Structure formats: C-alpha cells, structure tokens
C-alpha cells in the first residue's frame, strides 16, 4: 500500500510518501511545501492545496494520513493551522483518497515507542525504519513520513485484529 503522510503548517507543510506491505516500509519521496510568508494567506492555502494534489496525482497513494490538531494557547495560530489542515484534507478527499488522522502521541509512539519523543528522535527513527543513509529534512518532512509510518503500522494492526474476529 502506498501512503501519503502530511504534516500541516502555515509556514511549512511537510509531505512524505512510503510503500508498505504491512510489515516493512519503504521510502518513496518526501518534501516540504513552503509558501512565501509575504503572500496573502489565501494564496498560501491555494499553493498548499495545489501542491498536495500534484503529489497525489504524481505518486498515486492509496491513503492519506494526517496528524490531528493539538491544543494551542495561541488561537490565531490554531485557526491558521486548521485552515491548512482543511485544504490539505480536502485535496486528499478531492482525489478520492481515504483520509486518516492520528494524534501526535500515536505518531510518536508508533515510530519511537515513546509518545513524548523529541523531533530529533522521531527524525532519527524515521531514518532507521526507512533504511535511509541520512535523516529526512526538514523536520516537517520527517514528521510527515512518521505519520505515514504510523498509518502503515495501525492499518496492519487493524487488519490483523479484523482477521481474528
């Protein structure tokens, strides 16, 4: 199964694509969408949406996984992040991909075994799990790969449980 992971951000939105047979994950591509901060916010949203659609059309994932919203004391930042998640999820839905969400705790636990892991720990475990020579950069791209890996592991677990019911 080919999985697109997305780490949404209003400044940088990371994406990562992996292939998984349920037991192992294989790196396909990762990157970062970097809208110009000087552009109007609506134009940044449009760029993020169009870039996600482009990745989907080019790499043909079968599912899209997103990190769910975390609690923020800065309301303005949380609203902007919500808009970015909305256009990113819409891009996946528009391309007929099933959309899945995982909490930051679930993602970190799936990749590092510890739900409060630091970004560097997540990045290094992504490198190890995908057998990469160097750690994927920026952190937004490695976080997106971590979300995709989390979905691969969760999807495998859910299929195993369903098979035994």
Looking at residue 23, its pLDDT comes to 84
> Catalytic annotation on 7?
yes
Mapping DSSP to helix (H, G, I), strand (E, B) and coil, where does residue 114 land?
coil
Compute the distance between CA of residue 37 and CA of residue 118 in angstroms, rounded to an integer.
26
pLDDT above 60 for 161: no
- Region 152-161: mean pLDDT is 67
The pLDDT tens digits of the residues spanning 13-31 come to: 999 999 999 789 999 999 9
Give the confidence band of 164 by pLDDT, cuts at 50, 70, 90.
very low
Torsions phi, psi for 43 (to 5 deg) = -70, -35
Q: Which residue has the tokens 């697109």?
A: 4
Mapping DSSP to helix (H, G, I), strand (E, B) and coil, where does residue 11 land?
coil
- Region 75-96: mean pLDDT is 94
Looking at residue 72, its pLDDT comes to 66
Looking at residue 71, its pLDDT comes to 63
The pLDDT tens digits of the residues spanning 46-83 come to: 999 999 999 999 999 999 999 987 666 788 888 999 99
Task: Give percent of the chain above pLDDT 90.
Answer: 84
What dihedral angle (degrees, nearest 10) is formed by the CA atoms of 118, 116, 125, 10?
A: -60
Strand runs (DSSP E) across the chain, as ranges?
2-7, 13-20, 25-33, 63-67, 99-102
Looking at residue 165, its pLDDT comes to 52
> What domains sit in the chain, N to C, each tagged with a CATH number?
2-163 (3.30.420.10)
Residue 113 Rama label (left phi>0; alpha psi -120 to 50; beta): left
Mean pLDDT of the chain: 92
Q: Minimum mean pLDDT among 35-44, 49-58, 150-159: which range?
A: 150-159
Looking at residue 160, its pLDDT comes to 47
Among candidate residues 7, 106, 118, 143, the one labeled active-site is 7
> Catalytic annotation on 67?
yes
> Catalytic annotation on 143?
no
Among candidate residues 58, 101, 106, 140, the one labeled active-site is 140
Among candidate residues 19, 58, 62, 67, the one labeled active-site is 67
């Amino acid at each position: 199964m080919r999985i697109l992971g997305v780490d949404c951000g209003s400044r940088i939105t990371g994406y990562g694509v992996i292939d998984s047979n349920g037991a192992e994950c294989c790196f396909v591509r990762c990157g970062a969408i970097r809208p110009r901060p000087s552009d109007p916010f609506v134009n940044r949203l449009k760029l993020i949406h169009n870039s996600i659609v482009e990745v989907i059309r080019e790499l043909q994932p079968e599912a899209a996984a997103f990190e769910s919203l975390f609690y923020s004391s800065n309301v303005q930042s949380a609203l902007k992040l919500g808009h970015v998640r909305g256009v990113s999820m819409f891009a996946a839905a528009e391309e007929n991909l099933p959309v899945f969400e995982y909490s930051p705790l679930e993602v970190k636990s799936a990749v590092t075994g510890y739900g409060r892991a630091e970004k560097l720990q997540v990045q290094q475990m992504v490198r190890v799990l995908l057998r990469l020579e160097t750690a994927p950069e920026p952190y937004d791209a490695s976080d997106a790969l971590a979300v995709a890996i989390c979905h691969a592991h969760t999807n495998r677990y859910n299929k195993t449980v369903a098979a035994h019911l």
